[in-house]
Chains A and B, each alone.
Chain A
Amino acid sequence: MSDDKNDPVEIFRGHVELDYQYTAGVSASRFLRAVEQGKFLGQKCPVDGRVYFPSRGSCPMHAVPFGDDSTVELPDKGTVVTYSIVRVPSENIPLELPYITVQVLIDGADTALGHVLDANLDDVRMGMRVQAKWKPKSEWTTSMANIEYFVPIDEPDADYETYKEHI
């Protein structure tokens, strides 16, 4: 305690520590088991055909449950729809500053995935084509940590019109 022993006690210092066994659920488990195999799974809404990625239990717009037949496999390539250059450290992100966070619209998906991009700060831009950089296959587990980061690929930038609904 930094307080002087004679100062009045004016602050209560609390500490909460609770243990859980978190359960991912049916949909997230299916998704993560696919990631363990190096695959991305999305889920297609039976009402309007939108594809949600990562997959979830139901369509958040129509509240329709996603069954096994809603699952669609997606590539690990996509388009940067927005980005930010981070210059402030965060306790839970062990990356060297500065680094680039991106929202990647995976090809065929209608929702974007947040991740990190390994690229020159001057090069990153909306529309940039990127692909997941996977860890060595021997290290794959049921975790999104299988993807170390995204990297730029040698493809022409996506046209703004193709992703403007997904920013």
Chain B
Amino acid sequence: MSEPSLTAPHQLSYTYKRSLGPVFSKFFTALRDRKVLGMKRRDGTVLMPPKEYDPDTGESLDEMVELADAGVVTSWVWVPKPRRQQPLTQPFAYALVQLDGADTAFLHAVDAGSEDKMSTGMRVKMRWADETIGAITDFVFVPAE
């Protein structure tokens, strides 16, 4: 074999826009106003994130309900060396969080300071960005007292 392959740094970078649709539009508009909306299913349970259709039955859903800005960690992982794309520059945890009033957990970040502050079942609450724009990055969780 001859010399090794030539290599060169390459960055894939692009911006894009996507329509949110009726349910996520309401969800992110409320998020900009620092409120969290879940979607009530016919059986009374609440989906967070909200969905336009019931994932089990396919029924159309439209009853959005406000959830608390705090909840319980159902699983977590510590990120000791965050990549620059990730939501916090200091070490943090990704976690599945079930908000009070919701029946499903969703993925987000917890700014806990250190790994030993994290545990399954711990309570967390939202810390809002100074300026909210209607995006999932408008907040991170922090440990609740």
A/B contact in complex, CB under 8 angstroms = yes
Bitwise, A1-45 to B at CB < 8 A (1) or not (0) is 100010011111111111111111110111011000000000000
- Roughly how many angstroms separate A12 CA and B136 CA in the complex, as a whole number? 10
Apart from A12-B20, A13-B135, list 20 A-B contacts with CB within 8 A.
Answer: A1-B133, A8-B26, A8-B29, A9-B133, A10-B25, A11-B19, A11-B20, A12-B28, A13-B15, A15-B13, A16-B12, A16-B14, A16-B15, A16-B16, A19-B11, A20-B9, A22-B10, A28-B6, A29-B6, A33-B6
Q: Which residues in A have their C-beta under 8 angstroms from that of B12? A: 16-18, 20
Name the CB-closest residue of B to A15. B15
Name the CB-closest residue of A to B17. A11
B57 sits at the interface (CB 8 A): no
Q: What total of chain A residues lie within 8 Å of the partner, measured CB to CB?
A: 28
Name the CB-closest residue of B to A20. B10
Name the CB-closest residue of B to A17. B13
Bitwise, B96-140 to A at CB < 8 A (1) or not (0) is 000000000000000000000000000000000000011100000
Q: Which residues in B have their C-beta under 8 angstroms from that of A19? A: 9-11
Nearest first, the 8 A-B pairs at minimum CB distance are A9-B134, A22-B10, A9-B28, A20-B10, A29-B6, A24-B6, A23-B5, A9-B29
Asked whether, in the complex, the Cβ of B133 is within 8 Å of the Cβ of A24, the reply is no
- Give A contacts to B, CB under 8 Å: 1, 5, 8-26, 28-30, 32-33, 68, 142
Q: Which residues in A have their C-beta under 8 angstroms from that of B29? A: 8-9
Q: Which residues in A have their C-beta under 8 angstroms from that of B19? A: 10-12
Interface of B is mostly: mixed
- Roughly how many angstroms separate A61 CA and B34 CA in the complex, as a whole number? 60
Asked whether A14 and B17 contact (CB < 8 A) given A19-B11, A21-B10, A24-B7, the answer is: yes
Pick from B8, B14, B15, B28: contact of A22, CB below 8 A: B8
Interface centre among A8, A23, A26, by most B CB within 10 Å? Answer: A8
Q: What total of chain B residues lie within 8 Å of the partner, measured CB to CB?
A: 31
With both chains docked as a complex, state the minimum distance between the C-beta of A143 and any C-beta of chain B, in angstroms.
9
With both chains docked as a complex, state the minimum distance between the C-beta of B1 and any C-beta of chain A, in angstroms.
8
A-B contact pairs, 8 of them (CB 8 A): A9-B133, A11-B18, A14-B18, A16-B16, A20-B12, A21-B8, A21-B10, A26-B1
Q: Which residues in A have their C-beta under 8 angstroms from that of B85? A: 17
Name the CB-closest residue of A to B8. A22
- Roughly how many angstroms separate A68 CA and B133 CA in the complex, as a whole number? 57
Q: Which residues in B have their C-beta under 8 angstroms from that of A29? A: 2-6
With both chains docked as a complex, state the minimum distance between the C-beta of B62 and any C-beta of chain A, in angstroms.
16
Asked whether, in the complex, the Cβ of B25 is within 8 Å of the Cβ of A8, the reply is yes
- Roughly how many angstroms separate A67 CA and B14 CA in the complex, as a whole number? 38
Interface centre among A10, A16, A33, by most B CB within 10 Å? Answer: A10
Pick from B7, B17, B18, B134: contact of A21, CB below 8 A: B7
Interface centre among B1, B3, B5, B85, by most A CB within 10 Å? Answer: B5
